[in-house]
Structure 1
Amino acid sequence: MEEPRSIVAGYDGSAEAAAAIHWAAQQADLRDRPLHVVHVSIWPLLTHKLGPVPGVADSGLERSAQAILEEGVSRAQAAAPGLDVQATLLHGLPASYLAEISAGQEMVVVGSRGLGGFLGLLVGSVSLELAATASCPVAVIRPDLHPGGPVVVAVDASGSPTALADACALASAWQVKLTIVHVHHVPAGYAQQNGLDAEAAAGEVLHAALHRARTLAPYVQMEGRVLTDASVPHAILKASDDARMLVVGTQGHGFLRQTIGSTAHAVLHHARGPVLISRRGSGAHAP
């Protein structure tokens, strides 16, 4: 019998990771999925002195790493009592391990910033790398959530079917409004030719996305908006100011698989709230 797909949450003890664990636990509970809490200790890359300090009980870097993992599990259990929570302690580079673990899973969840302090050189690197390498959707959680806001999904000319499916799954789970946006890109100072044709094409993209969304989430209230802007990320970010979750796709494919596209990259850097980067790899499943 195939094991249920898990929601994987990275935890490093930071405030951002705590928010991510809380969000991941609630999402796992809503979807009836197990939660897999993972802490990846980088200390073995920096020192071989991981053991306890002689004569000092419950000390040492390895014990500290185990304590961080236990704390993550406790936070998850407090956020969703009765949830099936698994725990794994690994040693190495967090993004690499989390990307490997993500294969075939429901979602991987991380905080918007990592590690901090001296290791602040790595701030943001885990979420950025995962967004480019994971084999499932990547949720990057920030503490400033908007629990009453809608799910906002940006679709491009392709209709962004993966992002749309993930957004519908979130809106259905939360039973909140879904806002679908498509940006009609008009570069600044550019005298656009065939303007009416381009506007009509943008409207058709949005109409098709709404039609598909109503099939995927028939009981969810939804609206569609065509946005005109010289900057696609600016338009998306402005439209998602009060979003409970902003969902965007990624353009990485083929030899460019480990890229996420300029729009997703800008959104990750500048969004005020949580962002879901929709990805699929081999063995991945649509929601």
Structure 2
Amino acid sequence: MDGSASALAAVEEAAREARWRRAALRVVHAFIWARMKVSLGPPSYGPPEGGLRNMADRLVAEAVERATATAPEVEVGSVVVPGEPLTVLETESQEAELMVVGSRGTGGFVGLLVGSTTVHLAAHGRCPVLVVREAPRADGPVLVGVDCSPASEAAVDFAFAEAVLRGAGVLALHAWTSWNAPLPPPQDPSMPYAHPAGAAAEAEERLLAAALAGRRETYPGVPVEHRAVRGDTRQALIEASGSARILVVGARGRGGFKGLLLGSVSQAMLHHAHCPVAVVRGGGTAGTDT
């Protein structure tokens, strides 16, 4: 919580998530000024309620009030932690079930669609990170980007669990092109490059079905739509996000450079999706706070 409009929207969504999960909500403000060796109290010539520390306390109090109004049944706590935001939030994520942040804060460059703190947390957070970009929809499916890699398993599980919490269906979208889709073995070994028309599309459909295998049994009440499309992954997800309640993506997929913690598709969704975006790096934590 940094006092921005984006952060307040994130607080409201975090309160709803906490209610659905029956979890406590912890509002955190990273108080960097304590490390800058500047005066934290009210100036001698100003009102007693002035000063940087009082301002931080007011920001947190406003967030707690907003969260309580959104979900009165949720236990809401708050803390002002000395330190810079990246370190504070990454540390907080170690004990959390879910981290919720706004897409833009009070610092940085105005022209950027997503702040550097948000991108860093999506890459380094120890639990799933939900980035609130636009006002969440009350209808529509939980959209999950499936690239059929082992790394996307956690994103698929998170999407189905989120669908249960929200009372929604799941739209599993897999986009492929001739550049990233492995062709099936040829029917005639003497002609290794000969494949029947539609062979690649059928292979990708099977990969998507395999990636979702077992979820119907685990989540029998969740309607599921499979959609394998030929085209650019970023564009397909951005377009589908316009009618989704939330978009879930893995931090890394089967393409790109292995050394990167956050893939190009995930970063594009943080900047351009039309709904809140959840980035899932792994299996999450056993924390109880949102």
Instruction: Give the CA deviation at 1:83.
Output: 1.1
CA distance in 1, matches of 2:26, 2:109: 25
Please say which of residues 129-138 and 265-274 is displaced more in the overlay.
265-274
Is 1:165–1:216's contact at 8 Å kept on the other side of the alignment? no
1:273 aligns with: 275
CA distance in 1, matches of 2:224, 2:179: 29
TM-score, normalisation: structure 2: 0.84
Is 2:148–2:211's contact at 8 Å kept on the other side of the alignment? no
Is 1:106–1:136's contact at 8 Å kept on the other side of the alignment? yes
Partner AA of 2:48 in structure 1: A
1:21 aligns with: 11
Partner AA of 1:90 in structure 2: V
Instruction: Give the CA deviation at 1:256.
Output: 5.9
Alignment of 1:110-189 (within 5 A): 110-116=101-107, 120=110, 124-158=115-149, 160-186=152-178
Q: Which runs of 5+ in 2 are unaligned?
A: 181-192
Instruction: Give the CA deviation at 1:250.
Output: 1.2
2:58 aligns with: 67
1:51-101 superposed Cα distances (whole Å, 9 cap, x missing partner): 111252111011101111111111111111031112110122212211111
Partner AA of 1:24 in structure 2: A
When the two chains are superposed, the root-mean-square deviation of aligned CA atoms in Å is 2.7
Please say which of residues 72-81 and 42-51 is displaced more in the overlay.
42-51
Mark the CA change 1:53 to 1:257 in structure 2 (over 3 Å): closer, same or farther.
Answer: farther
Instruction: Give the CA deviation at 1:120.
Output: 4.5
Aligned partner of residue 243 in structure 2, secondary structure: coil
Mark the CA change 1:201 to 1:184 in structure 2 (over 3 Å): closer, same or farther.
Answer: same
How many percent identity over aligned positions? Answer: 38
1:77 aligns with: 68
Is 1:50–1:62's contact at 8 Å kept on the other side of the alignment? yes
TM-score, normalisation: structure 1: 0.85
1:249 aligns with: 250
Q: Which runs of 5+ in 1 are unaligned?
A: 1-10
Aligned partner of residue 94 in structure 2, secondary structure: coil
Aligned partner of residue 39 in structure 1, secondary structure: strand
Mark the CA change 1:218 to 1:89 in structure 2 (over 3 Å): closer, same or farther.
Answer: same
Aligned partner of residue 225 in structure 2, secondary structure: strand
1:7 aligns with: none
CA distance in 2, matches of 1:173, 1:248: 18
CA distance in 2, matches of 1:215, 1:54: 66
Mark the CA change 1:180 to 1:285 in structure 2 (over 3 Å): closer, same or farther.
Answer: farther
User: Does residue 1:87 correspond to 2:61, yes or no?
Assistant: no
2:38 aligns with: 48
Instruction: Give the CA deviation at 1:119.
Output: 6.7
Please say which of residues 11-20 and 36-45 is displaced more in the overlay.
36-45
4+ residue segments displaced more than 3 Å: 44-47, 118-123, 193-197, 255-258
Aligned partner of residue 119 in structure 2, secondary structure: helix
2:240 aligns with: 239
Partner AA of 2:226 in structure 1: G
Q: Which has the larger radius of gyration?
A: 2
User: Does residue 1:32 correspond to 2:34, yes or no?
Assistant: no
More relative contact order, 1 or 2 (CA 8 Å, 6+ apart): 2
1:133-152 superposed Cα distances (whole Å, 9 cap, x missing partner): 00100000023322212110
Mark the CA change 1:148 to 1:21 in structure 2 (over 3 Å): closer, same or farther.
Answer: same
Mark the CA change 1:163 to 1:286 in structure 2 (over 3 Å): closer, same or farther.
Answer: farther
Is 1:153–1:247's contact at 8 Å kept on the other side of the alignment? yes
Is 2:95–2:287's contact at 8 Å kept on the other side of the alignment? no
Residue of structure 2 aligned with 1:260, choices 262, 278, 282 = 262
Is 1:19–1:111's contact at 8 Å kept on the other side of the alignment? yes
Instruction: Give the CA deviation at 1:213.
Output: 2.5
User: Does residue 1:215 correspond to 2:217, yes or no?
Assistant: yes
CA distance in 1, matches of 2:242, 2:86: 28
Partner AA of 2:227 in structure 1: R
Aligned residues between the structures? 269
